[in-house]
Amino acid sequence: MTTSILIADDDKEIVDLVKLYLQNEGYTIYLAYDGAEVWRLVQEKQPTLVILDIMMPEMNGLEVCRLMRSEGILTPILMLSAKAEDNDKIMGLLTGADDYMVKPFNPLELSVRVKAILRRMQQMSQAEPISQDKVIIGPIVVDRALHVVTVSGKELHLTTSEFDILFLLVSEPGRVFSSEYIFEKIWQEKALGASKTVMVHISNLRDKLRDAMGGENVIKTIWGVGYKVEI
């Protein structure tokens, strides 16, 4: 199956540079220079991954990301922004992005981030024995082979990162996982200042589970230590 990547940025030089590096990896590349074009290509081409700049005409990256997630499109999104403030990073993750990079960035690092996201997707899609791939805890069923989460029989739509985090937590109910462990396990990078990234994804995941479970909070925060699932 061909891996396709949509690169979206209104800066043509950045688009051309990223395209050059990723084409050398053998990916099929689609290009967009404004938010409306991103939305059209996401629907028409169904790319494997979207690299999405925040500041774009027509619709900005946050609006595109929010629209994709509201329509149930769970394609992984790597957000780009010239803004380095924590609030901008958190806002990007809150809207459903899977990862975030600040401009200017090293194209080699971007390539590594892309490979890490794609590797996680591949691992999730590889069928393994059902005993390792399916976890049931209370009304929650997490099926890694099918990449589906249901709560009381109703499907819960999660991003790739949210799914990976939930599967990790429910695999060992009651165990407290530190932010650093979660980040290194899911993103496969050293957890240098990554606690806010994990915190935002946990917050999104907790809200979705709480809504599906009638207000019950199953992801507990152990302050100063980490997170655990408990029903």
User: Which pLDDT does position 132 carry in this prediction?
Assistant: 65
In three-state secondary structure terms, 146 is coil
In three-state secondary structure terms, 74 is coil
The structural domains of the chain, ordered by start, are 4-125 (3.40.50.2300), 134-229 (1.10.10.10)
Specify the residue for token string 């540079």.
17
Please, which residues have CB within 8 angstroms of residue 155's CB and are 6 or more apart in sequence? Answer: 148, 149
Specify the residue for token string 């200017």.
104
What is the tens place of the pLDDT at every residue in 125-169? Answer: 543 433 467 888 888 999 888 889 999 889 999 988 899 999 999
Q: What's the rounded mean pLDDT across residues 119-130?
A: 57
How far apart CA 186 and CA 113 sit, in angstroms, is 12
- C-beta neighbour count of 159 within 10 angstroms: 23
What is the tens place of the pLDDT at every residue in 167-223? Answer: 999 888 888 898 888 988 888 777 666 678 888 899 999 999 999 988 888 899 888
